[in-house]
Each structure stands twice: as C-alpha cells, then as structure tokens.
Copies of this chain bind each other. A is one copy, B any other.
Amino acid sequence: MKISIIGATGYTGAELLRILAGHPEVSVVHITSESSAGSLIADSYPHLAAIYNQKLENLKQLEEIAAASDLLFIGLPHGHAMDICRSLKDGSRVRVIDLGADYRLKPDVYEKWYKVKHTDAVTRPVYGLSELYRSKIKNGRVIANPGCYVTASILALAPLLRDKLIDAGSIIIDAKSGSTGAGRGVALNLHFSEVFGNFRPYGVAGHRHTPEIEQVYTEFAGEEVVVTFTPHLLPIDRGLLATCYAKLAPGAGGGDIAASFARMYGDEYFIRLLGRGKYPALKAVRGSNYADIGWEIDERTGRVIVMSALDNLVKGASGQAVQNMNIMFSLPENTGLAQAPLYP
C-alpha cells in the first residue's frame, strides 16, 4: 500500500511517520511541507534520522502525488484540506484521511466556529471515530479524523448516552492536554519557560472541539446535547485526560454503567476498560493507541464521573488515522499499532 503525507512537518505528520515506520503493509511514497520542501525530514525531526531518508516535496506536485498513492493523510491547518479534496475530485481514486477540522462538522456549524467559509459541498465525509463508525469508515473516500479532545470525550460518554443512563443536559467535560495538541508553531504561550511548571485553562466555553463533541453526543443520545467543555494546558508534551461529569438518569446505577461500557467496548482492542474505582493515568497510554477508561459514581450527588485517557498524538490523532487506514484497507485494525505504551 502506498501512502503519502501532505503536511509532514507538523506533529501529526511526524507522528504518522513514526507509526508507519513499523507498519508492515505500508510504504510512504511522498511527504510534503510548504515550509521545508527540498530538505530531508530528518533535518526537521532528528528522531527520524536513519529511518526515513526522504526529501520533503511541494504541494505543487499534488496531482502526481495523488496518482502515486492509495491514500493521502492530510496534516495541515484547517482550511487547506477542503482545497486539496476539491482539486482531487475528478477522476482521482485516491482516498483521504484528513487530520484537520475541515470535514468534521456540518458545514454551517464549521463556518460558525471556525470563521472560515466551507468550500467543498460535494465531498461526503465519514467521521473517523474508529470504534463508533467502523463500517462507514471502511467504505469512506474522505475520512474526517476526530479531534483529540473529542475522541476522549466521545469514548467516555457515548455508551451512556446511547443507553440513556445519564441526563444529556447535565454534561460537563473538564479536559487536560499536553502541549503537542497545540502543534509545532512557536508562540509565547507555548514557550518552554512559560509552560514549564505551569497549568492553566484556556478557550473556556468557546473551544472549537465543543460542537464536534456535541454533534456525536447528539447522535448517540437521540436528542440535542449541549455541553460545557473546558480545556486546560498540561505542562507535559503528550497525553490527554477528560474528566466527564453527568447526572445519572433515574434508576441508573453502577451495574448499568458497567454493562453499557462492556457492551460497546468489550471487544475493542484499543479500549481498555478499567472499571469502577480505577482511574486512568496518562503515562499508561503514552506512545500507544490505547484509550483507557475508568469511572466512579458519586452516590452523594447522583453523578457519574467518567475519566478517559489517551495519547493526543496517537489515539487522539495519527494513531487513530492509521487505525482508520487499516479499516479502509481491510487490514487487522491493530496492524502497526500494537506497540506497548512507553512507561515510565
């Protein structure tokens, strides 16, 4: 299988390269970077030295790249994937997994939250939360790979919403992410001296992952769901934990919660159910495609607290993208992804 990566010098692109280096069925044929075209990938990422000796190319060769590839991963800032997919429309049989936001939301919602015109009304994207949309992904042409916060939040509460075990109007998600979720672009608020030993909320009540979470929650709940979502920046590089709160539905109890999780995820390779009273830790998933889920019931207040942890660059981005690729090409879903977490 031949794949190419459009936008290989962002963190999600580099992480795709890391993962695909161990994928037995894939060869990486083209990698692009507008800022570093012509240089070796190892000049941008020394950890890839001796693993990839490829030069970064330019998007000008898009047509040629697409023709040589079975699949394109797109790791560009939002707004660009639409242009690429539009320009690929006619004739190209290449499939696409977009790690950005362009195809995650309904166009009107996208335009409202991203303040950008949506320019591709033709593509029928499939939402790439692997465990929940597996059969659609299999046949998808363009996959919208979910956001990192979104993956953690959806995995945590989708079963409970589907099974009506929680009050859909009561959901609060307090999420914490490592810095790589913010990308490689330098900025004062990502300057090492400013983040080290620090911790702070950001994007309170206005983060763009909110509507994406709501869109999937709404689908699973069968009713419109609106949530309070608060992201925080952890002073670490990788890892994302979502602490999700909801009122238990009348009559719902611990047994129902356990059964609901088991029903939806009992056979999932990448979801590890820790059960009640066991809580996930970021380091137990670092570098892997696992999502760990634990939960607790606060009997005094009638709330359930579901905690999910994942590596934002793996299950929260590039790992899930490879999982989706495996689904699309009928490979065992964990091909190239069975790496154990790096602990400690």
Contacts and interface: CB of A to CB of B under 8 A. Distances in A.
A344 interface: yes
Interface string A314-344: 0000000000000000000000001111111
A188 interface: yes
Interface stretch (A115-123, A130-138, A139-147, A179-187): A179-187
Q: How large is the interface on A (under 10, 10 to 19, 20 to 34, 35 or more residues)?
A: 35 or more
B228 A301 contact: yes
B205 A300 contact: yes
A192 B343 CA distance: 13
Contacts of A128: none
A344 B178 CA distance: 11
A227 interface: yes
A181 B232 CA distance: 20
Interface stretch (A87-95, A156-164, A235-243): A235-243
- Chain B CB within 10 Å, residue with most, of A245, A298, A309: A298
Contacts of A237: 192-193, 196-197, 344
Given A230-B305, A245-B172, A46 B236 contact: no
Contact of A279 (B204, B235, B245): B204
Contact of A343 (B14, B190, B298): B14
A104 interface: no
- Chain B CB within 10 Å, residue with most, of A186, A190, A198: A198
A22 B339 contact: yes
17 contacts: A11-B193, A45-B343, A46-B274, A50-B290, A174-B174, A174-B245, A178-B193, A180-B344, A196-B237, A197-B236, A197-B238, A204-B305, A232-B243, A237-B344, A245-B245, A286-B342, A287-B342
